[in-house]
Amino acid sequence: MNAGNPPIPKRDKASGDMAGYMPGEEAEDDETEAEVAETTVRELLASVDWSGIGIDGQQLATGPEVIQTLVKQLPNQPGVYRMLNQAGDVLYVGKARSLKKRVTSYAQGRFHTDRIGRMVRETAGMEFVVTRTETEALLLEANLIKRLRPRFNVLMRDDKSFPYILMTGDHAAPGIFKHRGARSRKGDYYGPFASAMAVGRTINSLQRAFLLRTCTDSVFESRTRPCLLYQIKRCAGPCTGEVTETEYAELVREAKAFLSGRSSNIKAQISRAMQEASEELDFERAAIYRDRLAALSHVQSHQGINPQSVEEADVFAIHQEGGQTCIEVFFFRTGQNWGNRAYFPKADSALGPAEVLGAFLTQFYDDKPCPRTILLSHAVEEQALLAEALSTRAGRRVSVSVPQRGEKKQLADNALQNAREALGRRLAETSSHARLLKGLAETFGLPQPPRRIEVYDNSHIMGSNAVGAMIVAGPEGFVKGQYRKFNIRSDDITPGDDFGMMREVMQRRFSRLIKEHGIPVEAADTDDDDDNPARADTPAWPDLILIDGGKGQMSSVRQVLDELGIAGKVTAIGVAKGADREAGRERFFMDGRESFSLPVRDPLLYFIQRLRDEAHRFAIGSHRARRKKELTRNPLDEIAGIGPGRKRALLHHFGTAKAVSRAAVEDLAGVDGISEAMAKQIYNHFHESGA
């Protein structure tokens, strides 16, 4: 059932892969219970009407009266509801055991918190999806929250994928690799690890312990003699037959057993083999087993806290202070600590630990494999329902509990201590950053501390491969997800004309900003509620733009801002390098003031230098990437109809692209896959006079 009025902006209909492989678990062809549940949620996502439907074609008011109208149409069944504002943006996504009862509570107009009151007052329409069970509703709710990122929901701020160890299963000699992203390649995945560094360190130790290859399949097939890794005893050398397939398969089996939690058994087996070799006076073989045992001990000694009673678990601890929340996550696999990560979800300060942690968990496991045990520092709302939902998706029992004693309690307490310390560091950094932004506003005459700062720079070599770069900073530091690069493409710009490049970057950036978000009513109009902590996203319009350059660049910027009619809406400041380009002697240029400098040891100057250096780093990196691509580009790539196959055939036949450019039509037509018409097209591309 769907009901509502305003159209929703374009949304991604993809449901996403809601479950991954479990550690050490290989995909099977048979459809499991978890896959059935996953398919059900995909179907529910596909059934959502993303366009919105009006009631009798009339515009609705906002607030409880809208909800009262919609309540009459709702069934007394479980499902998911979405609250929409006048613009069609999703304000909130929630699930309910009974849609009718839950929505009725909003229509009564009695709210426990200001947050819910604001949300209801802004509601202009609602949409609903009925599910078969409350478990399905919980899974669908988590999926929609992560995709729609509603304003009033608890949101995960850090949604980066986790690294895993991949033991390939599509080759006769499996390799061991670091893997991040979709688990599409056949094989066994072990993780997650908290960082790529932890994965790399573990793989290095496993190489010494099990002598597994880390080369690509193409390198493996092309080897004619063992590589250096074999010489330093980091690989068994299966590529050149230094070890038989049976012997290598045994090494792979041992590595899988170790990563699957049977580390003590593997160490015992290797220890017995070492003892047997020693008794047989085969000291060289005994030394190999000794080194492997030492490598296994190295793996475990670098995992930090290694619990004796916990084989596979994730430990979550939450701490709230100063209106912010930190959730610390520890990963334990095979009885080893595989790292930890701190999250700082966006949540209203009125929400308690139980509400925030419960909402966080459903989103966290939306696209990650779930362990058999989840340990919490605080009880969460609907804990039994959460365990049931995770069990359904994993296809086996998942335990969610708050330990009260023993080693598990110690793990939860340790995670809680880490959460306290991480939040303390963040609050200190935020306080320092807030003081810098306040000082920036006072120094440059801004009406309030900037919520969004954009910094621009250009990079090129004698005008070639010119790139403009924009970095974004906000109250919480750099917002790397909103960095942008601009490939300079205007034919009217003289190579090396920095002023012209800056003009093109400004024109493209702010023309698009006006098109997508309109011109702000006044300077620093963020379209956000200052008293709403849940609305902490970086606004679309910048309060301040910093230009790496002096008067010339600033004149180009002013010209563009005047032409677009936004000169008074955005504060622009040029940051010119000082005499002899010495850091600390920068000059600042802005409208209505003479150029000036800041004291050499002023913390605000260091802050601006850091912003400028980040823009410089990003611009140079973008330029180098473009230059590298240019160096590897082949002239044949510019010819329409020449794909990888025909390109390969031409290069195999003629040797080089230059030889292709000199070839006659008849010679070109003699290449496999090149018709006479295509041969003429290739010839004409390199010869202005044609064939």
pLDDT at residue 15, rounded to an integer: 36
Angle at 83 between CA 82 and CA 88, to 5 degrees: 105
pLDDT at residue 160, rounded to an integer: 67
Question: How is 526-556 classified by DSSP, letter by letter?
Answer: -SS-TT-TT--SPPSS-SEEEEES-HHHHHH
593, two tokens = 């003031």
pLDDT at residue 261, rounded to an integer: 63
pLDDT at residue 43, rounded to an integer: 56
Per DSSP, the three-state class of 199 is helix
Give long-range contacts, CB 8 A cutoff, 24+ apart: 437-443: 437/475, 439/603, 439/604, 440/544, 440/604, 440/607, 440/608, 443/598, 443/604
- Count of alpha carbons within 13 Å of 280, Cβ hemisphere only? 11
Per DSSP, the three-state class of 231 is helix
Angle at 450 between CA 577 and CA 318, to 5 degrees: 115
Residues of the chain with pLDDT under 70: 1-62, 109-112, 158-160, 261-265, 295-308, 462-463, 521-537, 579-584, 630-633, 688-691
**Beta carbons of 399 and 373 less than 8 angstroms apart:** yes
- For the chain, percent helix, then strand, then coil, each to nearest 5? 45, 15, 40
642, two tokens = 């020449």
- Count of alpha carbons within 13 Å of 72, Cβ hemisphere only? 5
Angle at 555 between CA 554 and CA 560, to 5 degrees: 95
Say how many C-beta atoms besides its own lie within 10 A of residue 223's C-beta.
Answer: 15
pLDDT at residue 57, rounded to an integer: 35
**Beta carbons of 84 and 91 less than 8 angstroms apart:** yes
Residue with tokens 């109809």: 641
CA distance 622 to 617: 9
pLDDT at residue 614, rounded to an integer: 92
**Beta carbons of 427 and 322 less than 8 angstroms apart:** yes
- Count of alpha carbons within 13 Å of 645, Cβ hemisphere only? 4
CA distance 375 to 416: 11
Q: Which residues 6+ apart lie within 8 Å of 80 measured at CB?
A: 44, 93, 94, 95, 96, 128, 129, 131, 137, 140, 141, 144
Enumerate domains of the chain plus CATH numbers: 33-148 (3.40.1440.10), 163-301 (no CATH), 313-424 (3.30.420.340), 445-628 (3.30.420.340), 635-686 (1.10.150.20)
Please report the beta strands in 181-323, taking only residues with DSSP state E, as ranges in sequence order: 187-190, 313-321
Which one, of 95, 108, 100, lies nearest residue 150 by Cα? 95
